[in-house]
Structure 1
Amino acid sequence: MIRLLLLLSIPLYILDQWSKLWIVKHFELHVTEQEVIPGIFWLHHTANTGVAFGMFNGTEYANYAFGAISLTALTFIIWMYKKGAFPGTLSRTAVALLISGIFGNLTDRLLHGYVVDFLRFDFGFRPFNPWPSFNVADSCVVVAALCLAIASFTETTPTKKPKA
């Protein structure tokens, strides 16, 4: 696990934090926007105190609640890892991605009081038009969820042999 943390989690965490700090420095919150791919992709700076798709954004104690949920999730993931719940490479990679994503957004909540979202896409289909803004940490969490779903069908947990 240490190897995955060094090779995957830490670089992705650094990329996430660097990109967010760059956005905070160069884009005024909820004002400045830069079109990167015409009609499809924009950079902008938005605040999210909620969770995925902006749910619960702006509610009074959302930032504290989701910060606590992040710490609880990290504790649970580490406990499950120690129990051997992630036996294969794909599930261990997912754990490394989750750790990076959770720490990235938790750091935002502590530093800024909200999660910095800055990637906005519009693929022209409903119900998400435009697609909700997100960041590198969010991408890590989504890819981790996909990896865990695939791993649940492809990896088997080793069984302990009964003592004779």
Structure 2
Amino acid sequence: MTAPASERDPKRARRVTAALVLAAASLALDLGTKAWVWDKLRGQPAETVIDGVLYLEFSFNTGSAFGLFGGQDFARPFFIVVTLVTVAYMALLLRKLPTDRLYGHLAIGLVIGGALGNLHDRLIRALEIGGELRHGVVDWILVYYLPGRPWPNFNIADAALVAGVGLLLPYLLLHAEPRPAPKAES
């Protein structure tokens, strides 16, 4: 029997461990802050952190980014499936990524942690909206990018996802191993 790849390659084991620790940390921070927001801010007015710029405001998003597909019956099962596929692909990518640059592994850790944070909410969190029980994601960070112009509420999971994708895309574009051209059939 052969040893797992992580035992044969200590550098890979360290990279994968770093990614999983970052995924767990971002997930824990996301779930902890959402639990606090659920208990303390739900039904309350926004709390000012920096007047005109940053607020803590409970928002319940039954859709996806920017509230897209909110209230649509297909949204919850669709995003659950998309999240599970994403996490599975990230886990596969984590095992295959070259080990020469740590930031690719950390990017995957952020994507996994963020995806699992919002998946948790889609599976667990529900509110009665319009006489109907709806599942959704707790968003709570409200930022005004210009006076009177708020960015849609978001959460730690969203920030982890954006940061992870923001690191992963350039990593893949700059450091992907070239594929050989397909051979022509004769």
Question: Partner of 1:122 in structure 2?
Answer: 144
The share of aligned pairs that are identical, in percent, is 29
Once the two structures are overlaid, the 10-residue window that deviates more, 58-67 or 150-159, is 150-159
Distance 1:60-1:150 versus aligned 2 partners, 3 A rule: same
- Give the aligned length: 155
- TM-score, normalised to structure 1, is 0.84
Whichever residue aligns with residue 41 of structure 2, its letter is F
Distance 1:4-1:79 versus aligned 2 partners, 3 A rule: closer
Which structure: larger Rg?
2
* Alpha-carbon contact 1:86-1:92 (below 8 Å) kept: no
CA shift for structure 1 position 86: 5.5
Instruction: Say whether residues 1:67 and 2:80 are aligned partners.
Output: yes
| Cα-to-partner distance string for 1:27-84 (whole Å, 9 max, x where unaligned) | 124x5311211111111111112111111112123112111110111112222333x2
* Alpha-carbon contact 2:97-2:105 (below 8 Å) kept: no
Alpha-carbon distance in structure 2 between the residues aligned to 1:27 and 1:40: 18
Distance 1:86-1:110 versus aligned 2 partners, 3 A rule: farther
Question: Partner of 1:162 in structure 2?
Answer: none
| Cα-to-partner distance string for 1:105-130 (whole Å, 9 max, x where unaligned) | 0011111021110001111179xx21
**Could you say what secondary structure the match of 1:57 adopts?**
coil
Alpha-carbon distance in structure 1 between the residues aligned to 2:174 and 2:77: 37
* Alpha-carbon contact 2:63-2:75 (below 8 Å) kept: yes
Whichever residue aligns with residue 5 of structure 1, its letter is L
Tell me, which stretches of 5 or more residues in structure 2 are unaligned?
1-15, 126-134, 180-186
Deviating above 2 A after TM superposition, structure 1's stretches of 4 or more consecutive aligned residues are 79-82, 85-88, 152-159
Whichever residue aligns with residue 130 of structure 1, its letter is P
* Alpha-carbon contact 2:56-2:141 (below 8 Å) kept: yes
Question: Partner of 1:44 in structure 2?
Answer: 57
Question: Partner of 2:129 in structure 1?
Answer: none
Instruction: Say whether residues 1:3 and 2:18 are aligned partners.
Output: yes
Distance 1:2-1:158 versus aligned 2 partners, 3 A rule: farther
Tell me, which stretches of 5 or more residues in structure 1 are unaligned?
160-164
Instruction: Say whether residues 1:140 and 2:160 are aligned partners.
Output: yes
Question: Partner of 1:98 in structure 2?
Answer: 111
Question: Partner of 2:122 in structure 1?
Answer: 109
